[in-house]
Amino acid sequence: MKTYTICGSMKFGKEMQEIAYDLETKKGYNVLQCVYNITNTEPNEEERNNLASAQYKRIDMSDGIYVVNIDGYIGTSTSAEIDYARKTGKEIRYHREISDRNC
Protein backbone atom coordinates (compact mmCIF):
# COMPACT_ATOMS: atom_id res chain seq x y z
CA MET A 1 0.00 0.00 0.00
CA LYS A 2 1.44 3.34 -1.05
CA THR A 3 1.30 6.38 1.19
CA TYR A 4 0.60 9.82 -0.24
CA THR A 5 0.49 13.24 1.37
CA ILE A 6 -2.31 15.50 0.17
CA CYS A 7 -1.06 18.91 -1.00
CA GLY A 8 -3.29 21.78 -2.07
CA SER A 9 -4.79 25.11 -1.24
CA MET A 10 -6.77 25.36 1.98
CA LYS A 11 -9.53 27.03 -0.01
CA PHE A 12 -10.19 23.50 -1.26
CA GLY A 13 -10.11 21.92 2.21
CA LYS A 14 -13.50 20.23 1.91
CA GLU A 15 -12.64 18.85 -1.51
CA MET A 16 -9.26 17.59 -0.24
CA GLN A 17 -11.01 15.69 2.54
CA GLU A 18 -13.39 14.10 0.03
CA ILE A 19 -10.53 13.25 -2.34
CA ALA A 20 -8.51 11.69 0.51
CA TYR A 21 -11.50 9.52 1.39
CA ASP A 22 -11.83 8.38 -2.22
CA LEU A 23 -8.10 7.65 -2.50
CA GLU A 24 -8.24 5.45 0.59
CA THR A 25 -11.52 3.67 -0.13
CA LYS A 26 -11.33 3.33 -3.91
CA LYS A 27 -7.57 3.20 -4.61
CA GLY A 28 -6.40 1.60 -1.37
CA TYR A 29 -3.82 4.29 -0.64
CA ASN A 30 -2.77 5.38 2.83
CA VAL A 31 -3.34 9.16 2.82
CA LEU A 32 -1.66 11.66 5.13
CA GLN A 33 -3.67 14.85 5.32
CA CYS A 34 -2.82 18.31 6.52
CA VAL A 35 -4.58 19.95 9.42
CA TYR A 36 -7.65 21.72 8.11
CA ASN A 37 -8.35 25.22 9.38
CA ILE A 38 -12.10 24.82 9.72
CA THR A 39 -12.49 28.13 11.56
CA ASN A 40 -10.66 30.05 8.81
CA THR A 41 -8.53 31.91 11.35
CA GLU A 42 -5.33 33.43 9.98
CA PRO A 43 -2.32 31.65 11.52
CA ASN A 44 0.54 33.78 12.80
CA GLU A 45 4.09 33.33 11.49
CA GLU A 46 5.06 30.73 14.10
CA GLU A 47 1.89 28.73 13.41
CA ARG A 48 2.53 28.90 9.63
CA ASN A 49 6.08 27.64 10.19
CA ASN A 50 4.79 24.80 12.39
CA LEU A 51 2.22 23.82 9.76
CA ALA A 52 4.85 23.87 7.00
CA SER A 53 7.28 21.78 9.06
CA ALA A 54 4.57 19.22 9.77
CA GLN A 55 3.64 19.06 6.07
CA TYR A 56 7.26 18.49 5.01
CA LYS A 57 7.56 15.73 7.62
CA ARG A 58 4.44 14.09 6.16
CA ILE A 59 6.04 14.29 2.71
CA ASP A 60 9.21 12.68 4.11
CA MET A 61 7.13 9.77 5.45
CA SER A 62 5.25 9.32 2.16
CA ASP A 63 5.96 7.52 -1.08
CA GLY A 64 4.76 10.64 -2.85
CA ILE A 65 2.39 13.57 -2.88
CA TYR A 66 -1.08 13.92 -4.36
CA VAL A 67 -1.60 17.47 -5.57
CA VAL A 68 -5.18 18.71 -5.45
CA ASN A 69 -5.16 21.31 -8.22
CA ILE A 70 -8.82 22.15 -8.64
CA ASP A 71 -9.41 24.38 -11.67
CA GLY A 72 -5.65 24.06 -12.29
CA TYR A 73 -4.84 26.18 -9.24
CA ILE A 74 -1.51 25.58 -7.50
CA GLY A 75 -0.58 28.19 -4.91
CA THR A 76 2.77 29.27 -3.51
CA SER A 77 2.87 26.81 -0.61
CA THR A 78 1.81 23.90 -2.77
CA SER A 79 4.43 24.84 -5.38
CA ALA A 80 7.06 24.75 -2.64
CA GLU A 81 5.80 21.32 -1.53
CA ILE A 82 6.01 20.06 -5.11
CA ASP A 83 9.59 21.34 -5.36
CA TYR A 84 10.46 19.67 -2.06
CA ALA A 85 8.91 16.37 -3.17
CA ARG A 86 10.77 16.57 -6.47
CA LYS A 87 14.11 17.27 -4.73
CA THR A 88 13.61 14.38 -2.32
CA GLY A 89 12.71 11.92 -5.09
CA LYS A 90 9.04 11.51 -4.22
CA GLU A 91 6.38 10.52 -6.71
CA ILE A 92 4.10 13.41 -7.68
CA ARG A 93 0.51 12.76 -8.72
CA TYR A 94 -1.95 15.44 -9.77
CA HIS A 95 -5.70 15.32 -9.21
CA ARG A 96 -6.18 17.11 -12.52
CA GLU A 97 -3.53 16.26 -15.07
CA ILE A 98 -1.53 19.26 -16.25
CA SER A 99 0.52 19.61 -19.39
CA ASP A 100 3.49 21.39 -17.80
CA ARG A 101 4.96 19.25 -15.03
CA ASN A 102 7.40 22.03 -14.13
CA CYS A 103 4.70 24.14 -12.45
How do 30-32 and 64-68 pair as beta strands?
unpaired
What pLDDT is stored for residue 103 in this prediction? 39
Give domain status of residue 99, yes or no.
Answer: no
What is the reported pLDDT for 49?
94
pTM reported for the whole predicted model: 0.87
81 domain residue, yes or no: yes
In a domain, 38, yes or no: yes
pLDDT of 99: 52
Split at pLDDT 50, 70, 90, the class of 36 is confident
Question: Which strand (E) or helix (H) includes residue 91?
Answer: strand 91-94
The arithmetic mean of pLDDT across residues 35-58, rounded, is 89
Q: Is residue 102 part of a domain?
A: no
Number of domains making up the chain? 1
Domain assignment of residue 84, given as a range: 3-94
CA–CA gap between residue 11 and residue 1 (Å, rounded): 29
Cα distance between residue 62 and residue 26, in whole Å:
19
